[in-house]
């Protein structure tokens, strides 16, 4: 060891460390909750504790930048104790929580109040997305980065959306103010006026056979087109959440290729289910945006494989069974997903692309669930296995088959749309700041001392990716879902 490097308190060894330079054998030296070195040999003092990951992948702690942990006001269906248990059991060590609580998180003082409710109750580190107050879009021009670096805008309403921006002038002002303040916008991009027009014509849906048609892709296409024009006009950084259709993906990819600072997220449930599942499962996969067809699902998988999507998110949005078994019109959209996200995506990758080297799949998982969300949302110390980074680690067994049951669900709501699925790959151990917060061997959790993260300095917008080679895209051999 270099004499300037502090003696490690813990050495994590493994043959599959997923580092920025690739998958490699090695040893992580950890001191004070941080990685101090990534070494080829273990020359640490005998006094250091040691963990051997063996043939498991050692991933950087995963980041779910899209969760609804329901605090304050909606804790009958989720809270930070349960939500963070679900997170670490799924390998997630950092989350970004959404503002649609009761009351909604629309101002800096609401962020401070929310932090006081979370402190001492979370196994994960965290940041908050601030919500846009449509009456005060000018707040975005002077937003303190230590309060929030990102602001959520709902362009369409649903059961828990507190403020929907329907006025074009308000939306324009928000984009202009966000550009002036260097704020990252995150958007539920569906057009509320279009949906209202359809609702007035059709009336309320009577069954889940009709649900996807009542919330069609045109709502997303229209909203994404509006977002792209505002980004072009103001240079605002915009991240489209839970993008659901092939057309939306093509629009955003074209805008990126043209140099616009716009990115998008793909969710585990849009990769895992189709509209046929919603007809069968009903409220369990009633979502907003709705689950679409096989063609759309295939396009989202291609976006993941070719690096067009920036992040993976769960949109973890639990509701109680009682809420989910109301009428079709009254059942709220959303499902729990932070626990299932990584294993659902891993299972899908291995089944869709069986010839792909597992190391390539592991690197993709780390890129979309660690490195890129850390960069996009300015999360210091997160997303990489390298010296100076936080010692957030996941031991992932890539080939273990297992079936999810309701007994496995950590979310307070107590159910999962993935119940009965046979997954490939399992999280065996999760460490945050060098300490175990989930151990599958014992079924035990760690300390509820996760912290609110500071914001890293702003970085220039990343360059637009090169358009992928269309001939390299997998075609008809892809299955609808894992």
The CA-based angle 204-210-216, given to 5 degrees, is 90
How far, in Å, are 303, 359, 406, 411 from residue 285 at the CA level? 22, 31, 16, 16
Q: Token pair for residue 77?
A: 């269906």
Closest listed residue to residue 370, CA positions, set 18, 23, 80: 18
Torsion sign, CA atoms 10, 11, 14, 20: positive
Q: For 275-340, where are the alpha helices, taking DSSP H only?
A: 275-281, 294-305, 321-324
Average pLDDT of each block of 10 consecutive residues along the chain (482 residues)?
Answer: 71 98 97 97 93 98 98 97 98 97 95 97 98 94 96 85 88 97 97 91 82 89 98 98 98 98 98 93 92 97 98 98 92 96 98 98 98 97 98 98 97 98 98 98 98 85 45 37 36
| CA separation for the pair 313, 263 (Å, rounded) | 13
| CA separation for the pair 87, 93 (Å, rounded) | 7
Running DSSP on this structure, what letter comes out for residue 389? S
Pairing verdict, β 435-439 and 444-445:
antiparallel
Q: For 235-293, where are the alpha helices, taking DSSP H only?
A: 246-257, 268-272, 275-281
Its pTM stands at: 0.94
How far, in Å, are 32, 51, 308, 435 from residue 58 at the CA level? 19, 11, 25, 14
Provide DSSP, 179-221. Answer: HHHTPEEEEE---HHHHHHHHHHH-S--STTSHHHHS-HHHHH
Torsion sign, CA atoms 234, 240, 245, 251: positive
pLDDT at 471: 35
| CA separation for the pair 276, 283 (Å, rounded) | 13
Torsion sign, CA atoms 274, 275, 278, 279: negative
pLDDT at 468: 42
The CA-based angle 145-139-223, given to 5 degrees, is 95
pLDDT at 479: 35
Decide: 128 and 105 in contact? Cβ < 8 Å.
yes
């Amino acid at each position: 060891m270099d004499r300037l490097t502090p003696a490690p308190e813990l050495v994590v060894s493994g043959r599959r460390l997923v580092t920025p330079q690739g998958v490699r054998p090695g040893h992580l030296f950890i001191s004070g909750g941080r990685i101090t070195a990534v070494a080829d040999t273990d020359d640490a003092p005998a006094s250091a504790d040691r963990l051997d990951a063996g043939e498991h992948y050692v991933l950087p702690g995963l980041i779910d930048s899209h969760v609804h942990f329901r605090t304050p006001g909606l804790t009958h269906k989720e809270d930070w104790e349960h939500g963070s248990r679900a997170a670490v059991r799924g390998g997630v060590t950092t989350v970004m929580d959404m503002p649609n609580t009761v009351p909604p998180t629309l101002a800096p003082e609401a962020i401070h109040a929310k932090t006081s409710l979370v402190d001492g109750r979370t196994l994960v580190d965290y940041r908050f997305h601030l919500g846009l107050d449509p009456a005060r879009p000018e707040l975005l021009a002077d937003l303190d980065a230590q309060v929030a670096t990102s602001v959520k805008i709902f362009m369409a309403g649903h059961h828990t959306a507190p403020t929907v921006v329907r006025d074009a002038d308000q939306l324009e002002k928000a984009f202009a103010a966000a550009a002036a303040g260097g704020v990252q916008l995150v958007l539920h991009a569906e057009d509320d006026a279009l949906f209202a027009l359809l609702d007035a014509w059709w009336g309320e849906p009577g069954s889940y056979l009709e649900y996807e048609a009542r919330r069609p892709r045109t709502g997303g296409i229209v909203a994404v087109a509006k977002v792209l024009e505002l980004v072009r006009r103001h240079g605002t950084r915009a991240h489209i959440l839970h993008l659901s259709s092939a057309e939306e993906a093509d629009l955003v990819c074209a805008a990126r290729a043209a140099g616009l600072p716009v990115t998008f997220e793909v969710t585990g449930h849009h990769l895992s289910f189709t509209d046929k599942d919603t007809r069968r499962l009903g409220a369990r996969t009633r979502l907003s945006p709705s689950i679409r067809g096989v063609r759309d699902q295939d396009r989202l998988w291609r976006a993941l494989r070719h690096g067009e999507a920036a992040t993976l998110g769960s949109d973890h949005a639990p509701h109680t069974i009682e809420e989910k078994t109301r009428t079709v019109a009254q059942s709220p959209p959303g499902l729990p997903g932070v626990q299932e996200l990584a294993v659902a995506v891993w299972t899908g990758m291995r089944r869709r692309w069986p010839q792909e080297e597992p190391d390539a799949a592991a690197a993709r998982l780390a890129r979309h669930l660690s490195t890129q969300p850390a960069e996009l949302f300015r999360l210091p110390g997160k997303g990489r296995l390298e010296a100076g980074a936080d010692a957030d680690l996941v031991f992932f067994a890539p080939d273990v088959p297992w079936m999810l049951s309701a007994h496995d669900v950590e979310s307070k709501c107590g159910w999962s749309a993935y119940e009965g699925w046979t997954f490939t790959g399992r999280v065996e151990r999760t460490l945050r700041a060098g300490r175990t917060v989930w151990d599958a061997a014992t079924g035990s959790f760690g300390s509820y001392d996760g912290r609110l993260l500071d914001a890293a300095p702003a970085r220039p917008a990343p360059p637009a990716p090169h358009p992928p080679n269309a001939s390299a895209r997998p075609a008809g051999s892809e299955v609808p879902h894992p």
